[in-house]
């Protein structure tokens, strides 16, 4: 057995990988060998740490030193100073957003970003090597499967999930235990378990991170589910755009088979279960359960009307239980620690924790897991660190294209399924996009609608034609061609689509428009009536102007302007020719005196 005195954990999630963590790992191994430390120090590629903003992230144990934004050239210093001589490299240590300090002694859980979090679904992400089943086993992995198979009846497993109050984390929030129970009660010669890893909401990436950081947790949970409902075959439907997740999942499935944790006669209990991966081509609609199952069957990914529900007639016409990745990530923990433990967290109707992907105009972009009932304000300010550059917070979008935008006045809403719906948005899969004063809400609504128009499968008319018409109206509004009555037309279309679309995605498609209309109606009215964009965002409705009092005549703006729209002599105030101006904003960025503004 090899014991290493120090472990260097390098984040290998998609975020850090794209900022170069693979190069870091190579460089670490190279430098460690060069300094003859390869018998003492081990480099481990882990899953996502959550603090993607500070990536690539490197943690050195046993000290627990948290290095952020590590560049390949920093590696030499960490190796020769920290690993060889035991001196922490202070200037590379993560700067806490709340204290603005670099503290090399600070443990991970004391950092403000992690302090408010409670990690259940993400508990192994960034802690273990996802490509090594032994490490998952050491974190009590597959103990829950062992417990379920050897000590619990199928009814007891379902009962435990039911009592825990776990609800579907994919967005719908349907009680997971009930789904298990219905599928259990269906009579059939063959049943299936399926996992929805077709994470399509713009801005959400928790499912990807779980698959990348802790793939065995999903395999274990699906095997437990298979036992509970009486299925011997499972499918994981994951989008092909997640290559790292697919790769780690395949490795994990192979390892589990090798250890006999998947396959025939698991733990000699007579229970057979195996898993296969199905790749999705990235259509948003395939996240809808009926469309997803058609896609697994090899058919066109289009939704069909329910009932019959999948619990009765799903994959290949057999009873099927479909859960989301994050839902599964909680299952083993519930079996292991009991329903009461899980139900002790969260609010009355929403138990446990929820993972959110923070993005947009926020300091700490990343993945956070918090107990249900945490106020939005805590997530955005205490964990997320607020809006960058001192800008004013305007709204937060939750629930992706099916959700809505919530304004400042609703920031104290405790986050759970029911509160978010009452506030006019929804939980969705947990994307949380923050907007500041520079974001135009009409344009945001247009962005989401644009997404829907693109992704609508086209099967039903309300979604195919209705959303297109809505988008045309919004296009007109942001171009300054809005007409009196447009808002009413939008509302009428939205209601019709909501009432008549075939699947959940169509029914919720108008939500971004409805919620922005509810909270930011004045912005719509300003666009239509005054031909003005209050956020100075919509190009057709703004002009760039030079303040003659502030302009020093440095000519920087005139030189950068691609349209040669700026004229003036040296040391004299310059002027922008509105006719020529392309509104690209280069001059404003270039001006050192703040003389150029958008009006």
Helix axes 243-258, 206-213, angle to 10 degrees: 40
Q: Can residue 85 be called a binding residue for other proteins (CB under 8 A)? A: yes
Q: Does 447 participate in binding other proteins (rule CB under 8 A)?
A: no
Of the residues 20, 69, 84, 190, which one makes contact with other proteins according to CB under 8 A: 84
Does position 1 interact with other proteins (CB under 8 A)? The reply is yes
Q: Which of 24, 120, 125, 128 touches other proteins by CB under 8 A?
A: 128
For other proteins, the binding residue among 19, 29, 64, 116 (CB under 8 A) is 64
From the list 406, 343, 414, the residue with the least C-alpha distance to 372 is 414
Q: Pick the piece of the chain touching other proteins (CB under 8 A) from 62-70, 331-339, 349-357, 534-542.
A: 62-70
Please identify, using beta-carbon distances, which residue of 144 and 197 lies nearer to other proteins. Answer: 144
Least spacing, CB of residue 35 vs other proteins, in Å: 11
CA distance 375 to 155: 36
Q: How far is the CB of 105 from other proteins (least distance, A)?
A: 11
- Alpha-carbon separation of residue 424 from 171, 351, 402 (angstroms): 14, 21, 11
What character string, x for contact with other proteins (CB under 8 A) and - otherwise, covers 130-149? ----xx-xx-x-x---x---
The answer to whether 265 and 272 have CB atoms below 8 angstroms apart is yes
The contact mask relative to other proteins for 255-274 (x = CB under 8 A, - = no) is ----xxx-x---xx------
DSSP count for the chain of H helices, then E strands: 26, 18
Which alpha helices (H) appear in 379-434, and where do they start and end? 417-422
Confirm or reject binding of residue 6 to other proteins (CB under 8 A): yes
Q: Residue 181 or residue 216: which is nearer to other proteins going by CB?
A: 216
**5 lines the binding site for other proteins (CB under 8 A):** yes
Q: How many residues bind other proteins (CB under 8 A)?
A: 37
Question: Applying CB under 8 A, does 87 fall inside the site for other proteins?
Answer: yes
The residue (of 87 and 521) whose beta carbon lies closer to other proteins is 87
**91 near other proteins (CB under 8 A):** no
The 3-state DSSP class for residue 221 equals: helix
Nearest-approach distance from CB 488 to other proteins, in angstroms:
59
Helices (H), 378-500: 417-422, 441-455, 461, 467-478, 486-500
CB of 3 to other proteins, least distance (A): 4
Is 2 among the residues that bind other proteins (CB under 8 A)? yes
When asked if residue 7 is in the footprint of other proteins (CB under 8 A), the reply is yes
Please identify, using beta-carbon distances, which residue of 10 and 238 lies nearer to other proteins: 10
Residue indicated by tokens 């939750």: 398
- Residue by residue, DSSP assigns 225-270 as HHHHHT-SEEEEEEETT-HHHHHHHHHHHHHHHHTTSSEEEETTTT
Q: Given the complex with other proteins, which of 151 and 409 has the nearer CB atom?
A: 151
Q: Which two tokens stand for residue 539?
A: 């190009």
SS (H, E, C) 25-73: HHHHHHHHHHCCCCCCEEEEEECCCCCHHHCCCEEEECCCEEECCCCHH
174 touches other proteins (CB under 8 A): no
Q: Which is nearer to other proteins, 108 or 502 (CB)?
A: 108
Compute how many other C-beta atoms are within 10 angstroms of the C-beta atom of residue 294.
18
Nearest to 88 by CA among 58, 65, 72: 65
Contact status, residue 290 vs residue 309, Cβ threshold 8 Å: no
**Structure tokens belonging to residue 580:** 């020529």
Q: Which stretch binds other proteins (CB under 8 A): 106-114, 314-322, 370-378, 499-507?
A: 106-114
CB of 309 to other proteins, least distance (A): 36
Of 104-112, 198-206, 552-560, 573-581, which segment contacts other proteins by CB under 8 A? 104-112
**Of 131, 216, 120, whose CA–CA distance to 169 is shortest?**
120
**Integer CA distances (angstroms), 191 to 47, 152, 178, 233, 290, in order:** 32, 20, 16, 7, 16
Q: Which is nearer to other proteins, 140 or 382 (CB)?
A: 140
Q: Which helix (H) or strand (E) holds 197?
A: strand 192-197
> How far apart, in whole angstroms, are the C-alpha atoms of residue 14 and residue 158?
34
> Which residues is 397 bridged to in the sheet?
405, 433
Residue 122: CB minimum distance to other proteins, A: 16
- Residue 151 interacts with other proteins (CB under 8 A): yes or no: no
Q: How far is the CB of 43 from other proteins (least distance, A)?
A: 13
- The yes or no reply on residue 39 touching other proteins (CB under 8 A) is yes
One of 19, 61, 163, 391 touching other proteins (CB under 8 A):
61
Residue 266 or 503: the one with the smaller Cβ distance to other proteins is: 266
What is the contact surface with other proteins in residues (CB under 8 A)? 1-7, 9, 39-40, 61-64, 84-87, 107-109, 127-128, 134-135, 137-138, 140, 142, 146, 150, 259-261, 263, 267-268
């Amino acid at each position: 057995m090899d014991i290493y005195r120090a472990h260097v954990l390098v984040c290998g999630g998609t975020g850090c990988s794209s900022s170069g963590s693979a190069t870091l790992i190579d460089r670490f191994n190279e430098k460690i060998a060069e300094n003859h430390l390869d018998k003492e120090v081990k480099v481990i590629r882990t899953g996502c740490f959550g603090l993607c903003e500070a990536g690539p992230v490197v943690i050195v144990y046993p000290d627990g030193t948290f290095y952020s934004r590590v560049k390949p050239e920093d590696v030499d210093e960490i190796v020769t100073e920290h690993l060889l001589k035991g001196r922490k490299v202070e200037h590379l240590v993560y700067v806490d957003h709340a204290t603005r300090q670099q503290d090399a002694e600070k443990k991970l859980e004391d950092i403000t970003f992690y302090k408010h979090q409670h990690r259940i679904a993400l508990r192994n992400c960034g802690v273990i090597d996802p490509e090594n089943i032994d490490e998952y086993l050491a974190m009590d992995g597959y103990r829950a499967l062992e417990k379920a198979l050897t000590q619990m009846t199928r009814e007891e497993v379902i009962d435990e999930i039911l009592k825990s109050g776990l609800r579907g984390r994919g967005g719908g929030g349907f009680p997971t235990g009930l789904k298990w129970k219905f599928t259990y009660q269906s009579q059939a010669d063959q049943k299936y378990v399926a996992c929805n890893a077709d994470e399509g909401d713009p801005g959400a990436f928790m499912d990807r991170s779980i698959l990348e950081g802790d793939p065995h947790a999903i395999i274990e949970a699906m095997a437990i589910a298979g036992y509970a409902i009486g299925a011997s075959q499972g499918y994981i439907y994951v989008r092909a755009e997640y290559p790292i997740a697919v790769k780690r999942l395949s490795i994990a499935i192979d390892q589990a088979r090798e250890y006999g944790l998947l396959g025939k006669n698991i733990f000699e209990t007579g229970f057979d279960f195996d898993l296969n991966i199905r790749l999705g081509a990235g259509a948003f609609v395939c996240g809808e359960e009926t469309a997803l199952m058609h896609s697994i069957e090899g058919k066109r990914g289009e939704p069909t009307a329910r009932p019959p529900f999948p619990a009765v007639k799903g994959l290949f016409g057999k009873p099927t239980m479909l859960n989301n990745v994050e839902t599964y990530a909680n299952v083993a923990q519930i079996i292991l620690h009991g329903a009461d433990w899980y139900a002790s967290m969260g609010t009355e109707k929403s138990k446990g924790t929820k993972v959110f992907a923070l993005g947009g105009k926020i300091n700490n972009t990343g993945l956070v897991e918090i107990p249900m009932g945490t106020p939005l304000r805590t997530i955005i300010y205490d964990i997320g660190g607020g809006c960058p550059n001192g800008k004013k917070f305007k709204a937060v979008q939750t629930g992706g294209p099916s959700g809505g935008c919530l304004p400042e006045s609703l920031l104290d809403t405790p986050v759970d399924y029911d509160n978010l719906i009452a506030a006019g948005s929804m939980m969705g899969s947990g994307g949380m996009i923050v907007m500041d004063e520079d974001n135009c809400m009409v344009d945001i609504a247009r962005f989401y609608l644009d997404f829907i128009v693109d992704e609508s499968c086209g099967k039903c008319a309300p979604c195919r034609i209705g959303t297109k018409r809505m988008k045309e109206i919004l296009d007109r509004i942001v171009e300054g061609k809005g007409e009196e009555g447009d808002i009413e037309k939008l509302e009428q279309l939205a209601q019709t689509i909501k009432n008549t679309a075939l699947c959940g995605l169509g029914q919720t498609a108008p939500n971004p428009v409805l919620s922005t209309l509810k909270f930011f109606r004045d912005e719509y009215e300003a666009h239509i009536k005054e031909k003005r964009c209050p956020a100075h965002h919509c190009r057709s409705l703004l002009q760039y102007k030079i303040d003659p009092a502030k302009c020093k005549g440095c000519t920087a703006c005139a030189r950068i302007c691609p349209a040669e729209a700026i004229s003036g002599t040296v040391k004299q105030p310059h002027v922008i020719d509105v006719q020529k101006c392309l509104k690209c904003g280069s001059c404003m960025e270039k001006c050192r005196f703040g003389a150029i503004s958008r009006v």
